[in-house]
Amino acid sequence: MAEAIASPLKVALERDGALLHLTLARPKANICDAEMIGALQAALEAHRDHAALRGVLLDAEGPHFSFGASVEEHLADRCAAMLGSLHALILALAGFRVPVLVAVRGQCLGGGLEIALAGGPIFATPGAQFGQPEIKLGVFAPAASCLLPWRMNAVAAEELLCSGRSIDGGRAHALGLVQELADDPVAAALTYFDEHLAPRSAAALAHAMQAVRGPRLAALREDLARVESLYLQSLMRTRDANEGLDAFLAKRAPTWEHR
């Protein structure tokens, strides 16, 4: 008999049904591949109408939040499906009816950071690392191009997207990307939930989220469609985008021809 494959996501209702706890459960990398994206989407959909829900906590097992998306799924013959599913998840997180708290340890990169950015407050260790390294592979980060300016000033967002470098939790906090620094970000997020969300009316929270995020959600939907088209119809037709992805998978340095 074939061994059952463990789910990439742990899902639990906690705090008497007030908190949906989602844990990325494929350490250490917690790659946000099609299976992980599907599991997150299914969990949000299954609990969207849970009447008593006042918050979501998204965290990860192991020393790192996520190394990002699957590079194999970025290849030319697969990237359209990957971007479509990832961007649907981004919209589901950004438009979820109650706040989504995110707790980060270690590396939070690429698609993993895009998923974190779509939520609400980020709680992180001082040593956590945040970055969008896609540019190093000859591509760019579509969702982060839309979401990072929600969190920090445009110049800082552009710098991270174009350099591909990572910043630590302290710098991310100073730029507004991280809400709170804590040695135990899960405990900090739970304390925040207990003090500021659990005592509130779920109905009031849902309407507050709709009020504050409604206009940005409409803009995000348009922006994601725009950058997805740019990625698929223009970027992936360049020689260097395909060279960068192939080089990464072959574990060699890319050779850029700037075309």
Residue 172 lies in a domain: yes
Residue 75 lies in a domain: yes
In the prediction, which pLDDT does 74 show? 85
Distance CA 94, CA 216 (A): 9
The backbone torsions φ and ψ at residue 214, rounded to the nearest 5 degrees and listed phi first, read -50, -55
Residue 90 has pLDDT above 50, yes or no: yes
164, 135 in Cβ contact below 8 A?
A: yes
- pLDDT category at 3 given cuts 50, 70, 90 is very low
pTM above 0.85, yes or no: yes
- Of 70, 49, 55, 62, the C-alpha closest to 10 is 62
Residue 256 has pLDDT above 60, yes or no: yes
Q: Write the CATH number for 140.
A: 3.90.226.10
Distance CA 62, CA 47 (A): 25
In the prediction, which pLDDT does 73 show? 86
Residue 156 lies in a domain: yes
The backbone torsions φ and ψ at residue 21, rounded to the nearest 5 degrees and listed phi first, read -105, 115
Residue 2 has pLDDT above 50, yes or no: no
Please name the residues in contact with 195: beta carbons below 8 A apart, sequence gap of 6 or more. none
| Cα of 72 vs its chain's centroid, Å | 18
What does DSSP assign to residue 32?
B
Mean pLDDT of all residues in 7-23: 97
What is the share, in percent, of the chain residues with pLDDT greater than 90? 93
b/e for 111-121, b at 16 or more Cβ within 10 A?
bbbbbbbbbbb
Distance CA 30, CA 86 (A): 15
Q: What is the mean pLDDT of the chain?
A: 95
Residue 243 lies in a domain: yes
- Of 57, 63, 68, 70, the C-alpha closest to 10 is 57
Residue 253 lies in a domain: yes
pLDDT digits (tens, 9 = 90+) for 68-77: 999 998 888 8
- pLDDT category at 5 given cuts 50, 70, 90 is low
Residue 193 lies in a domain: no
Number of domains in the chain: 1
Residue 33 lies in a domain: yes
Residue 195 lies in a domain: no
Residue bearing the bigger pLDDT, 119 or 3: 119
In the prediction, which pLDDT does 1 show? 37
Mean pLDDT of all residues in 176-180: 97
- The reply to whether omega before 28 is within 30° of 0 (cis) is yes
pLDDT digits (tens, 9 = 90+) for 95-116: 999 999 999 999 999 999 999 9
The residues facing 131 across adjacent strands are: 109, 166
pLDDT digits (tens, 9 = 90+) for 189-204: 999 999 999 999 999 9
Distance CA 247, CA 137 (A): 8
Please name the residues in contact with 55: beta carbons below 8 A apart, sequence gap of 6 or more. 18, 19, 20, 98, 99, 100, 101, 193, 197, 198, 205
Judge residue 130's burial from the number of C-beta atoms within 10 Å of its C-beta, 0-12 exposed, 13-18 middle, 19 or more buried: buried
Quote the domain boundaries for residue 178.
1-184+201-259
Half-sphere exposure of 144 (CA within 13 A, CB side): 29
The phi-psi region of residue 168 (left if phi > 0; otherwise alpha if psi is between -120 and 50; otherwise beta) is: beta
